[in-house]
A = this chain, B = another copy of it.
Amino acid sequence: MSKQEGGCCEGLSDAPLAEDQAVELATMFKALGDPVRLRLLSLIASQPDEVCVCELTPAFELSQPTISHHLKVLRQAGLVESERRGTWVYYRVRPETTDRLAAVLATATGDRRVAAL
């Protein structure tokens, strides 16, 4: 999906941000807009490589399906990716995505120098 730009200018302050890009970025930020998902992402990111779901679920006082749902949202936003190995499923962060969002925010500063990516 999307063969559009994303090419050069990613910063919030560089261009007024087209509708298409706004929708795409909003999906990612919305995924971060929940305390449970933020803590999930944090737990995944704080581990060297990847984390087993069996470690994530007991870290919350929420049902297993609820955690599974939140992981799905993070996955669909491109923030994490998962891999099944045997009985267990492992999640890891996708740095491309977090870095891109960080770059977008960094340049909202009015920081008009090259916006990284």
Residues of A within 8 A of B (CB): 12-17, 19, 22-23, 25-27, 29-39, 41-43, 45-46, 48, 59, 93, 95, 98-99, 101-103, 105-110
Contacts and interface: CB of A to CB of B under 8 A. Distances in A.
Count this chain's copies in the assembly. 2
Contacts of A109: 45, 93, 95, 98-99
Given A22-B35, A93-B109, A98-B108, 20 more contacts: A12-B38, A12-B45, A12-B98, A17-B39, A17-B42, A17-B43, A19-B35, A22-B39, A29-B33, A30-B33, A30-B34, A31-B33, A33-B33, A41-B108, A45-B109, A48-B110, A95-B110, A99-B106, A102-B103, A102-B105
Nearest to A13: B45
A17 B38 contact: yes
Nearest to A96: B109
A107 B32 CA distance: 15
